[in-house]
Amino acid sequence: MSRLTIEGGFPLKGTVQVSGAKNSVLPILAACIMLDGETVLTNVPYLNDVSIMVRMLSALGVRAEYYHHNKIKIWNKGKLRHMAPYDLVTSMRASFFVAGPLLAKTGLAKVPLPGGCSIGTRPVDIHLKGFEALGAKVSIEHGFVSMQADKLKGGPVPLGFPSVGATENLMMAASLAEGDTVIQNAAKEPEITDLANLLIQAGAKIEGVGTSTIHITGVKTLQGLASYPIIPDRIEAGTLIIAAALCDDEVRVEGVVPGHIESVLYKLKQCGVNFTVEENAVVVKPRKRNLTAVDIETAPYPGFPTDMQAQMMTLLTIAEGKSIIKEKIFENRFMHARELMRMGAKIKIDEHTATITGVKNLSGAEVKITDLRAGAALILAGLVAKGYTNVYGLHHLNRGYYQLDQKLKELGAKSFK
């Protein structure tokens, strides 16, 4: 299994650039199934998950290629296949985003049920209920979701939970439906706004994105875009800010939209992290006081993001006092805790609540990555632990972080593969 060795205890110093948002480019690539002609996406992160989505588009008849490392060009000639390949959907559940666009564009979609993953069962019932509300016939057989609709019809689409993926899938489908759709209890993540902006520039009529009620008036066609920039990855930004906070020197994290991580910055300030905020940067500085415990409860945006929970736990393992973390989004997202405990962290898990008692320092150990964000949390822990930490299972990390270890090394971290 691939391994990264980190020698802890070195300060990080300098400037680091945040890459484009994984959770924005994935639904946006799916949306390109509905955009006629050519589209170019820029500020695209070079990630395994993005490559899988590029392969998915090609399998559906939409040619897509990376070029110049952070651009993707898409050619959509409209000859679409409506069946998504099993191996691609099961290797990345975000491939399920192609369901809405395929249904809207061809009237048919046959997409394998995405499996769960280590953090939870991650069903798609909210997506399917929404497609039925738009007039699709939905059936599940042999592990495939089959959907059919001569023409999707707009209407009220209440979501039982503000699901990010369901909001995105249904907003895409409704963009080409007949009539008006109102998505109620919609999710408000910045990645949804980024997707909506692309669709609007392509000719869609969408209002209220970023609020819990999104109004969509269906149009007949959507046109490709000469160039569309993906927003910065707020989760990578938060991860880099915590890395800087742990190593306690001056680091400038550039290309971040501070407004996208307000809830994270609020908690970091409360915990004693010293930083200033500029229009497109956060500058972390040496602390003026010791880190102290804070309580965290993950929630849909603009609440504290579940994708930052693991990284925050690492910071709190060396914060004085007792911190409580409640994971309210996924049913099994504390697997990094047992690996942190192997590094000397004092953590008690009770169902969806973790109690962290701060310790003076962590000690290097052999640890294993179980999921993407847990991987980031363990690398952060290695930066500040005494001695060497061997982090195994790097393939999880490469799904969602573009060269995280390289970026940290350029700031002064001591690591090697």
Q: 194 vs 405, which CB is nearer to ligand EPZ?
A: 194
Q: 86 vs 161, which CB is nearer to ligand EPZ?
A: 161
Which residue stretch of 147-155, 157-165, 357-365, 381-389 sits at the interface with ligand EPZ (rule: CB under 6 A)?
157-165
260 binds ligand EPZ per the rule CB under 6 A? no
| Per-residue binding letters, 25-54, with ligand EPZ (x by CB under 6 A) | -x----------------------------
Which residue stretch of 71-79, 118-126, 316-324, 349-357 sits at the interface with ligand EPZ (rule: CB under 6 A)?
118-126
Closest separation between CB of residue 275 and ligand EPZ, Å? 23
374 binds ligand EPZ per the rule CB under 6 A? no
111 binds ligand EPZ per the rule CB under 6 A? no
Closest separation between CB of residue 265 and ligand EPZ, Å? 18
Is residue 151 a contact partner of residue 130, using CB atoms and an 8 Å limit?
no
- Enter the DSSP assignment of 78: S
The dihedral over CA atoms of 289, 295, 300, 306, expressed in degrees to the nearest 10, equals 80
How far from the centroid of its chain's Cα atoms is residue 387's Cα?
31
CA-based radius of gyration for the chain: 21
166 binds ligand EPZ per the rule CB under 6 A? yes
Q: What does the block give as tokens for 150?
A: 């001569």
Question: Which contacts (CB < 8 Å, 24+ apart) does range 120-123 have?
Answer: 120/330, 120/331, 120/332, 120/333, 121/331, 122/93, 122/330
Residue 117 catalytic? yes
161 binds ligand EPZ per the rule CB under 6 A? yes
Is residue 265 a contact partner of residue 275, using CB atoms and an 8 Å limit?
yes
298 binds ligand EPZ per the rule CB under 6 A? no
Is residue 127 a contact partner of residue 169, using CB atoms and an 8 Å limit?
yes
Is residue 31 a contact partner of residue 101, using CB atoms and an 8 Å limit?
yes
Judged by CB under 6 A, which of 19, 76, 95, 163 binds ligand EPZ?
163
Number of residues near ligand EPZ (by CB under 6 A): 23
327 binds ligand EPZ per the rule CB under 6 A? no
164 binds ligand EPZ per the rule CB under 6 A? yes
In sign, the C-alpha dihedral spanning 110, 26, 119, 88 is positive
Alpha-carbon distance values, 65 to 33, 39, 277 (Å): 14, 11, 36
Residue 88 in 3-state DSSP?
A: helix
| Per-residue binding letters, 91-110, with ligand EPZ (x by CB under 6 A) | ---x----------------
Closest separation between CB of residue 192 and ligand EPZ, Å? 9
- Residue 322, number of CB atoms within 10 A of its CB: 14
Helix residue spans in 97-160 (DSSP H): 99-106, 125-133
Which residue stretch of 104-112, 124-132, 207-215, 272-280 sits at the interface with ligand EPZ (rule: CB under 6 A)?
124-132
Closest separation between CB of residue 178 and ligand EPZ, Å? 24
Residue 149 in 3-state DSSP?
A: coil
Judged by CB under 6 A, which of 194, 307, 327, 405 binds ligand EPZ?
307
Catalytic residue annotation: 117
Q: Catalog residues that contact ligand EPZ under the rule CB under 6 A.
A: 23, 26, 94, 120, 122-127, 161, 163-166, 187, 306-307, 329-330, 372-373, 400
